[in-house]
Structure 1
Amino acid sequence: MAQELLALGLAALLQAVQFLLMAVPANRELGPGYTMSARDRPPSREPSVFTQRMRRAMDNHFEGLILFTIAVVVVVQGGQSSALTAGAAWVYLIARVAYIPAYAFGWRPGRSLIWVVGFAATLLMILAALIQGLV
């Protein structure tokens, strides 16, 4: 299996972990009456700052995962896998793991720097595949 695909599979599992990190405290704080409802109205109380941060971190990973998935498809389906693209895929995954506590504990500017590293790694994968494909 290509290293980029392995990193993508692990990133998907990380997304599931992030969902649990948000959903478990949200269910405790808001109660199953709200969390199991259609949520047609706002909750009667706000979730904690931690739970709100876990929600935003999870949403951010959903957004980043879209571009990372495109990068992996371009690399692997284009036959452009290399040490550079594999390394960038692992950097993305490590950055996404580091992003969770950075967001949870409000690390500034660390959180943003970690995000930039993951985003840059994703762009590097795409650019490396496209450039190598042109050569």
Structure 2
Amino acid sequence: MSSELNILALYGLYTCLVLILKVTGAQSQLGMAYLLSSRDEHRTLTGITARLDRALTNSITAMALFAPAVLILHAKGAFSAGSLTAAQAFLMARVLYVPAYGFGITGVRTLLWLAGFAATVFLYLMGLMAA
């Protein structure tokens, strides 16, 4: 398995960790009975748990964009030093993004989001340029 595919797998596991953190926070705020229910009654998360919820949604969106780019490069046999660097930059930016969002560090959060997004766009461009 290539390093880019390993990075994709690591990011998937990291997103699972963010989900666990969000659910743990939701359980303490909303209670297990509510989480096990059909949730017909809407309840709102607050504080860091609410921010983790939004970070999780953003992380899933990032995964939906990042994974095809990596898989396109894999299908074309076009992994390179540049694609590895971009995938590593994506992973680092996304791993730092969640705590920045969770703790409300807005300027840093935005820069990290932009770095991860730029790395993803770079991977797509590499995929388009590959033979």
Question: Normalization by structure 1: what TM-score?
Answer: 0.93
Check whether the contact 2:52–2:101 (CA below 8 A) recurs between aligned residues. yes
Q: Is 1:20 the counterpart of 2:20 in the alignment? A: yes
Q: Is 1:47 the counterpart of 2:45 in the alignment? A: yes
- Share of identical aligned residues, percent? 37
Shift of 1:33: 1.2
Q: CA RMSD in A?
A: 0.9
The corresponding residue for 2:128 is 130
Cα distance in 1 for residues equivalent to 2:66 and 2:27 = 30
Check whether the contact 2:76–2:130 (CA below 8 A) recurs between aligned residues. no
Secondary structure at 1:51 match in 2: helix
Q: Please list the CA deviations of residues 26-47 of structure 1 after superposition, one character each: whole Å capped at 9, or x if unmatched.
A: 101100111111111112xx43
- Deviating 4+ runs (over 2 angstroms): none
Cα distance in 2 for residues equivalent to 1:65 and 1:107 = 22
Check whether the contact 2:22–2:52 (CA below 8 A) recurs between aligned residues. yes
For structure 2, which runs of at least 5 residues remain unmatched after alignment? Answer: none
**Corresponding pairs, count:** 131
Shift of 1:130: 1.3
For structure 1, which runs of at least 5 residues remain unmatched after alignment? Answer: none
- The amino acid that maps onto 2:97 is Y
Cα distance in 1 for residues equivalent to 2:63 and 2:27 = 25
User: 75, 78, 99: which is aligned to 1:80?
Assistant: 78
- Counterparts of residues 61-76 of structure 1 (less than 5 Å): 61-76=59-74
Shift of 1:131: 1.1
